[in-house]
Chain A
Amino acid sequence: MADTHVPAQSDSLESINTGPARPVALENIETRLNELWREVASTAQNRGGSGAVTMAQVLNLIVHAPSYDAASEYMQETELITGRHPCRVISMVQDHDDPDMPVQGLVSMFCQIPPAGGRQVCCEQVTVTSGSNSLRQLPAAVLPLLLSDLPVFLWWPQGAPFDDYVFRQLADSLNRLIVDSATFENPEGTLSRISSVLKSNWPRLASTDMNWGRLTTWREIIASFFDGPALRPYLERIGRVTIEYSMSGKGRTVNRGQALMMAGWLASRLGWQANDNAYRLVHADDQLPPIVHLSLRSGKRPVEIYLRPTMRQAEVPGSLCKVRLVVPTQGTAGQQGEVQASFEVALCDEPGDPGDAWSEVQVEGMTPTHRNIHLDAFSRADLLDIELEVYSRDKVYEETMNMVAALIKGVSSGRDTEGPRRLISGEAISAAQTQPPRNRPPGTPGTPGNTPRGNMP
């Protein structure tokens, strides 16, 4: 019942690490892990502790990585949340660009020590690698490593997994899939498929999206506008919504994932229906990608939603920067219609804390209120931390995604696969991305100069 989310941080915590992951034959992984538990216990004892190590595992977390380097990066992020989610992390590397990468396992252990010098909580870290010629063996290598009776999460940090061979083999064993639509090459196309693909193929698999997690604070603030009885009636009369989103910091990639989910959330919660061909592009500014105009209705009342790109830069492509809900004066419509009430939340433009924001409510005949607020900026580890607390389906998310699918039906049939990001032609201007040199895990035959993870004890 954690009311408060505290950002995942391990800076202040002492840790024990068993050093760089060591290669081990797949059939010996469990044995090796047992040895590591003993090593950790003895390290703890040498440091003056009681020697007791908490062996508690609450879940399995499979992490998909397109390269060994990426796997190391993700593993470090999972270490930040070890204390809250003691688990077995199985990082599965599918290196499509390395045909000769063998299927092999590497194991290590990471333990967090509470500040008071209490006992450790540890994560077992297993990495299983595969290359393009061996990836069909990967599912059979991963499945036996799952701890029985514990929920299985799959975190797919980059792109969408639905067409991936390994994912399709594992899907029946999973409880919850975590994707991040901020990394989708074709967010519209993929988001429109998520609900139908899951429903038809893996109806029991719960899924979520880190981009959905990024909207939580926005949703809370927007909901709070309408908590009181005085303003609650305006919720039924919203006729126009403007959602502004940022470009990616690196290129100027367009990703309307968050904006679409915000629109889908409002529409599904408030019972709006998408009109046929609801999605329309409006070219308003030569410097910017087009605005998306979504047309919906609430009963007979029209509702317009505009997804507007801004020049504002953000680390996560498509991050929201403003949401404005407008109740038009009766009889006026369209983007320029007269306003009876407006409810707005936006990030501050001035440099400062990136979470600084304001909210404003203006209602005809009332004193406007303007307030400074703070929007929590969640790191990927924070978002993962939050998602791992939920074991079941998220009905509100699923209804949102159904609505997103209805809003963008037939717009884009592009599919997401992993690999280098491609941009949708005509929609984006992007800096060329270069592929960094690839490393292989230690012990791999023909390993080029690889960089072990800097996590020696």
Chain B
Amino acid sequence: MVTLLNTNIIDNPLREGLRFQHSADPCVIVIFGVTGDLAHRKLLPALYNLAVERRLPANSAIVGFARRELSDDVFREQARESIEKYSRNKPSQRPALWDTFVKGLYYVQSNFDDPEGFRTLAARLTEVDAERGTLGNRIYYLSTPPEYYTPIVNNLGAAGLANTMAAVTATAPPDGSGNGSSGNGGNGAAANTVQLNTGYLSTGQLAPLPGTDTSWKRIIVEKPFGRDLASAQQLNRDIGEIFTEEQIYRIDHYLGKETVQNILVFRFANGIWEPIWSRRYIDNVQITVAESLGVEDRASYYDTSGALRDMLQNHMMQLLTLVAMEPPAAFETQAVRDEKAKVLRAIKPFTIQEVAHNTVRGQYGPGAIYGKPVPGYRQEHGVPPTSETETYVAARFFVDNWRWSGVPFYLRHGKRLPKRDTEIAIQFKPAPLSLFQHTAADEMQPNALVLHIQPDEGISITFESKVPGPNIRLRSVDMTFRYGASFGVEVTDAYERLIMDCMMGDSTLFTRRDEVELMWQIATSILDGWSHIPAPTFPNYRAGSWGPANADMLVERDGRTWRRLL
């Protein structure tokens, strides 16, 4: 979508017409919590795929940072096993390629709150810069439990690892033990062996002088970004003390999905939708994120989080903003984010009474999924038997601006629903007058435009058609466009896309500070309301059903129904 020119990227005439007009600077990707699930299932495979497809600059390096005692070699072996298991490109397919990749993997063992560990990291990074020619460019990826975000950020700051100028002064480790490599501070002693690169190869002659360092440092923050407005604001302040907003990439992997990005293309590259994309023609919008899975092995996290925090506050609100936003002035990072933030500002936080009227929460009890019996939430491994955590949330929002005034946006998300399905349905108003008088009124369905996000990515539109025969009988038919993913063709993984964007310095698909706080403002008003109104008796829906009965009421009260997802 948007590729912004990074100041470090220079014009290369050979790039013209190629898939990637620009390449990223080489950098070191430091993954905090590298022994965790996300790193092994998603991040390391994503980086390997980028390397195989030659998108990762050849001399980039990955430094894993975690509490477990591991040597570089053991870390490399564990990375190989995970990549073999979870990646579409397997190390065993191309051993020579793996050999080149694995040389750029390193490990640093430390607690996240131990300043000494960060000094070790700084020294290690200096060595890696010298060895690989990564020029002091860094991505710090926070893939740890959220309580460590602030200590890590503070330690990065204290170790001089957070910004360019600090990095220059920090290249000589405080204790003077540099293991023989003096880093990129301009010391020419290692000039013949130091590779200070830039793209492909590097040269000691080009080591930046102190004060002329053009290296960059960026930080990717995983969800959950806070657990309410106050904690999100605090986290923003904590990170903001060390990193500038331009350096911060709050990741929402939904935004890395092709179909989600396509919402903008679909809306703003086609002339036919914009005129009808408003309260004048649209009756309501329904955003559904249905999961058939339960909490799986995430019970300890999920039980303190719940459906609202886990899904609605971030991913679903992002989908809402993309559907509702005004056309941006330009397809550029800030312009796109400005418009998204405006949508969020137009959604007023609920009062307690409004929460009771506009939201529904639920928790699944035992039931069956795809014909197989499954336990209820409270019977899941690791969940307290009296848990009051919601596994279902539905809400009705209004975007109070000229375009959307009066149009309800119904959002619903639940675990253990009958099938996995994420979609955005734009329901149009019915035809103003039925000409087909002898047709049963309920046969006439309003038109719907559905953006399918997963699993079958695509777009479909339903309209009424005459059933062949002597009588006028109507039937809804649909016209569908499906993405390659539906046909077994893989699309770029969201993490690959987002890590690459971060390397290129493009934060369009990341969440800005005001966005995250505005989303929390809305979600927190619901959490506050829930704490003041009597909770429903959990469990209140059966696993394998479409959620609690009250969720139907939420929509039926307005004379509407949830779309049936078949």
Contact = CB atoms under 8 A, between A and B. Distances in A.
B203 interface: yes
B481 A56 contact: yes
A235 B54 contact: no
Contacts of B18: 216, 219-220, 223
Interface string B41-85: 000000000001111011100000000000000000000000000
Interface in B1-47: 1, 8-10, 12-20, 22-23, 25-26
Nearest to A375: B54
B490 A4 contact: yes
Residue among A116, A119, A225, A227 having the largest count of chain B Cβ atoms under 10 Å:
A227
Nearest to A216: B18
Interface of B: 1, 8-10, 12-20, 22-23, 25-26, 52-55, 57-59, 93-94, 96-97, 99-100, 192-193, 195-206, 258, 261-262, 265, 455-456, 478-482, 484, 486-492, 496-497, 566
A3 B492 contact: yes
Given A4-B53, A54-B482, A226-B12, A83 B97 contact: no
Residue among A115, A121, A219, A224 having the largest count of chain B Cβ atoms under 10 Å:
A224
B291 to A, nearest CB: 16
B15 A84 contact: no
Interface string A45-61: 00000101011100000
Interface stretch (A98-106, A241-249, A365-373): A365-373
Given A219-B14, A232-B12, A114 B201 contact: no
Q: Which 3 A-B pairs have the closest CB atoms?
A: A228-B199, A228-B198, A83-B487
Contacts of A410: none
Given A227-B23, A374-B97, A6 B203 contact: no
A432 interface: no
Given A116-B455, A228-B200, A223 B14 contact: yes
Interface band, chain A: 35 or more
Given A56-B480, A356-B96, A230 B16 contact: no
Contact of A222 (B14, B196, B206): B14
Contacts of A371: 58, 100
Given A225-B200, A226-B200, A227-B198, 14 more contacts: A4-B53, A4-B492, A50-B566, A55-B479, A84-B489, A223-B14, A224-B54, A226-B14, A228-B26, A270-B13, A271-B13, A356-B96, A361-B200, A367-B201
A366 B492 contact: no
A225 B197 CA distance: 11
Given A2-B492, A223-B15, A224-B23, A366 B200 contact: no
A221 B20 CA distance: 11
A119 B455 CA distance: 13
**SS class of chain B's interface: helix, strand, loop or mixed?**
loop
B54 A230 contact: no
A235 B12 contact: yes
Contact of A235 (B14, B57, B482): B14
B456 A118 contact: yes
B559 to A, nearest CB: 28
A225 B94 contact: no
A118 B14 CA distance: 42
B193 to A, nearest CB: 6
A330 to B, nearest CB: 18
A84 B487 CA distance: 8
23 contacts: A2-B491, A2-B492, A4-B53, A13-B488, A56-B479, A83-B488, A116-B455, A118-B456, A118-B482, A121-B482, A227-B22, A228-B197, A229-B199, A230-B201, A230-B203, A231-B198, A235-B13, A235-B14, A270-B14, A365-B203, A367-B193, A371-B58, A372-B99
A301 interface: no
Given A12-B488, A112-B487, A119-B482, A224 B58 contact: yes
A50 B10 CA distance: 53
A2 to B, nearest CB: 7
A230 B19 contact: no
Contacts of A227: 9-10, 12, 15, 22-23, 57, 198-200
